[in-house]
Structure 1
Amino acid sequence: MVNAKGYISSNFTKSFLTIFLPFFLIISLVYLVKISSLTSKIQISFTELITLYSYAVPDIIFYTLPLSFIAALANVLVKLSTDNELIALYALGLKANKVLKGLLYLSILFSLLLMAISFLGMPLSKQFYKSFTTAKKSEAKLNILPGKLGQKFGDYYIYVKEKKKDKFSNIVIYNRTDKNVEQFFSSLEGKLNKKNGVTSLLLNDGYGYTYSDIKLQQAKYQSLEVYDHNQKKNFQFEDIIAYWSKAKTDKKIMHRVLFFAFVSLIPILALYPVASFTMINPRYQPNRSFIVIFAVTLLLYLTASSLEKWGTLPILILTLLSILMFGKWLFKKRVEKYF
C-alpha cells in the first residue's frame, strides 16, 4: 500500500509540474507587463524590476496553485484509470478510499502552503511593493529636469534652465494662491534640501511678484525657501497581527480573510468531487476530465467570490462543511460503492 501511495504521488507530482509551470510563466508575464507600465511614471532599473517582480511571486503562486492542483488531480486519476492501473490496485485488494488517501495528504500540504502564502507572504509582499513604489514616486517628484515646462514642486510650477546634481540656475516659479491672486518668483540659483522627511527648494538672489486685478507687489530677496507640503508620508509597515486584526472593524478586510481562507482550502475541497468523476472504469465510463476541471474550478471560485462580497464567518464554515459532505457523499455513491 505504501508503494501504491508513492507511485500515485509521483505521478501527481509530474502532472502538477507540467501544468503549474506554464501557468506560472504566463501569469508572470502579465505581472511583468503590469510592472513595466510603471516606467511611464517612475524610472526603475532592471534590478529594481526583478525586485518588484519578486514581490508579486506570492500572488502568482496563490492564484495559480489551486487551479493547477485541480487540473493535475483530474489528469492523473484519469490517466491511472484509462491505463487500468487503478483497476489493478482494486484487484489487489486496495479500496478506492485508501488509494485516494495519499492524495488527501498532499491536498492538506497544499492547503497549508496556500494558507502560509495568503496570510503571511502576501500581506508582507504587498507592503514591500507599496513601500517601494511610494519611495520611487517621491523621488520622481524631486527629479526636476532642466528646460522642461509644467513641472510641479508641491503647489508650485517650476522651470529651471540648468541643473547640476541638486543645484539649479535661472529658476522661475509660478503659484496661483487664489482665483484672482498669483505669485511669480525668479532666482539666479537654488538647490534642493531634504530634512526630517520634508523637502524644500532654497532660492538665492531673486525677485518675487504678487499681483491681482488691482495691485502688483514686488520683493527682492537674498534667500527664499519653498516647501513641498504635498509630499506623502513615508509608508508605515504593519506586522501580520496588526494587519489582519483590522478585519474586526473593516468589512473589506474581513471579506478578504474569508476569500483567502476558502481559496486556500480548495485542494481539500476539490479532492472528492474531482475523484468522483475521474476514478472511472474506462470500459463503461467516458473520460470527462476537461468538463470536471472546468466545472469544479468555476463553482469553487464563484463561491470564493461570493464569500468575498457577501460572506460572514458562519457562512464560510457552513459552506466548507457543505462542500466537504457533498464531495464525500458523491465519492461514496459514484466510486467507493463499486471499488
Structure 2
Amino acid sequence: MRIKNFLFQSFAQVFFPVFLVLFFIASVVIFIRIAGVTFVVKISFLELLTLYFYTLPMMLFFVIPLSFFVACVFGLSRLSFDYELPVLFALGMPPKQIIKIFSPIALLASISLFVLSLVLTPLSDIAYRQFLEKRKSSIGINLQAGEFGQKLGEWLVYVQKSKNDTYENVVLLSLQKGENSQKDGLIFAKEANIDNIDGLMEVRLQDGEVYRKVSDGMERISFDTMILRYAVDFTDDGNMGLVEYWRRAFYENARQDKTRRNLSMYVLLSLFPLISLFYFPLLGVKNPRYQKNYTILQTMGAVGVFFALMYLMATYAPLIGTLLLSIAWGYGGYFLYKRYVARFY
C-alpha cells in the first residue's frame, strides 16, 4: 500500500501541472477558433462562453490521455534518476508490480475517455449545431470599417465607413468558379444596407457599378439600386440523436467516411492509456548509472508514432485498423518491456 501511494503521489505531481498547461493551450486555440466566428457574426459574451463549453468534452478528450501518458512516464523517470526505483527493485519489488499498480487508474482513464468520446462529445457537437441553426435565423452582421478579408456568403467585402446598419463606399468581390462566368464579379457601391430575414441575407446596394468578365473582355454595368440575396444553408445534423449520430458510420451517407474516421480515432485514443501500460516502465524505468535521461524525446517519439498510426488507420482502414493497431501497440509494448526492462530487474 505504501509503494502504491508513493507511485500515485509521483504520478499526481506530474499529471496536474501537465494537464493544466495542455488545457490552457487548448483553451487558447479554441478561443482563437471561436473568434473566427465572431469576426463577422455578432454574438454576446455569454454566447461565446456557450460555444466554449460545447467544445470542452472534445478538448478534455485529447488532453487527458496525453497528460496521463506523460505523467506516468515522467513520474517513473524521476523516481529512477532519484535512485528511488532502483532501491525498490533492490529490495525485491519486480517491475511488473508497477503495471499492477497503474492498471486500475489506466482502466479508469480509458472508461472516462470512452464516456467523453462516444457520449459527451457527440452530444456537445449536436448541441453546438443546434445552437448554430438557431443563430442562422437571427444572425447580426458585424462588418468592420477598414478591415480586409471579411466574408458575406461567397463575397469578400470591404467597407470604408460604417454607421449603425449603413455602410458607405462598399466593395464586394466574388471569385467563385463555375461554368457561368457571371459568378465572377466586382461591385462598387456608395452605400449598402444588410439585413437578415429568417436566414436570408439581403444586401441592398445604392448608386454603384458592376464589373464582370465576359468572353470578349470586361463588362461594366451602372445601377441605382441592386439587391443581393444569400440563403444560409441549414442542415439536419442538429436534430439527430446519439444513436443515429454513430449509425452514420455503418450505412452510406454524405458523412460516413468522416464518422468512421472519428469513431476509429475516438476508440483508439480511449484505449491509449490501457494499451500503453507496458510503455510506462519501458520509457520511465532507467538505470541512472548507465543510461542517460532521454525520457522527453522518447515520450514525444512514442506519442508521435501512436498518433501517426492512429490517423493512418482511422483514415484508410477505420474498422479493421482499430482492432489491429490496438493489438499491435499493446503487444509491441509488452515485447519491448520483456526485452529491455523485465530481464534486467
> TM-score band (shorter)?
0.7 to 0.9
Which residue matches 1:300? 306
* Structure 1 residues 97 and 47: CA distance shift in structure 2, 3 A: same
Task: Map 1:100-115; keep pairs closer than 5 Å.
Answer: 100-115=99-114
* Residues 183-232 of structure 1: per-residue CA shift (max 9 Å, x gap): x9x9xxxxxxxxxxxxxxxxxxxxxxxxxxxxxxxxxxxxxxxxx99455
| Residue of structure 1 equivalent to 2:65 | 66
Could you tell me the percent identity over the aligned residues?
26
1:320-339 equivalences under 5 Å are: 320-339=326-345
Residues 159-192 of structure 1: CA deviation (Å, up to 9, x unaligned): 79xxxxxxxxxxxxxxxxxxxxxxx9x9xxxxxx
CA 92–146 in structure 1, closer or farther in 2 if over 3 Å, else same:
closer
Match of residue 93 from structure 2: 94
Assess, with a 3 A threshold, how the Cα gap between structure 1 residues 42 and 298 changes in structure 2: closer, same or farther.
same
Q: What is aligned with 1:248?
A: 250
Residues 137/233 of structure 1: CA separation in 2 closer, same or farther (3 Å cut): closer
TM-score (norm 2): 0.72
| Deviations 1:81-134, CA, capped at 9 Å, x for gaps | 111211222233221101232112222211111111111111111122222223
**Closer, same or farther: CA 155–90 of 1 in aligned 2, 3 Å:** closer
Match of 1:237 among 236, 239, 244: 239
Which of 140, 146, 151 is the equivalent residue of 2:194?
A: 151
Deviation track 1:288-335 (CA, whole Å, cap 9, x = no partner) reads 101211110110000111022101422321221111111111111111
Which residue identity lines up with residue 244 of structure 1 in the other structure? W
Whether the aligned pair in 2 keeps the contact of 1:42 and 1:137 (CA below 8 Å) is: no
Secondary structure of 1:139's counterpart equals coil
Deviations 1:218-271 (A, max 9, x none): xxxxxxxxxx99455585422211110111022321122111111111112333
Which segment drifts farther, 48-57 or 250-259? 250-259
Contact kept in structure 1, 2:41 and 2:140, CA below 8 Å: no
Unaligned runs of 5+ in 2: 143-163, 168-191, 207-222
**Structure 1: any 5+ residue segments left out of the alignment?**
161-183, 187-227
Question: In the alignment, residue 240 of structure 2 is paired with which amino acid?
Answer: E
Residues matched between the structures, number: 278
Are residues 1:32 and 2:31 paired?
A: yes
Decide which structure has the larger Cα Rg and report it.
1
- Structure 1 residue 141: Cα displacement: 6.0
- Structure 2 matches for 1:113-128, cutoff 5 A? 113-128=112-127
TM-score w.r.t. length of structure 1:
0.74
**In the aligned structure 1, how far is the partner of 2:321 from the partner of 2:102?**
27
Deviates more, 1:62-71 or 1:321-330: 62-71
Cα distance in 2 for residues equivalent to 1:101 and 1:65: 21
Equivalent position amino acid for 1:319 in 2? L
Change (3 A) 1:310 1:43: same
Contact 1:278–1:287 (Cα < 8 Å) also in 2: no
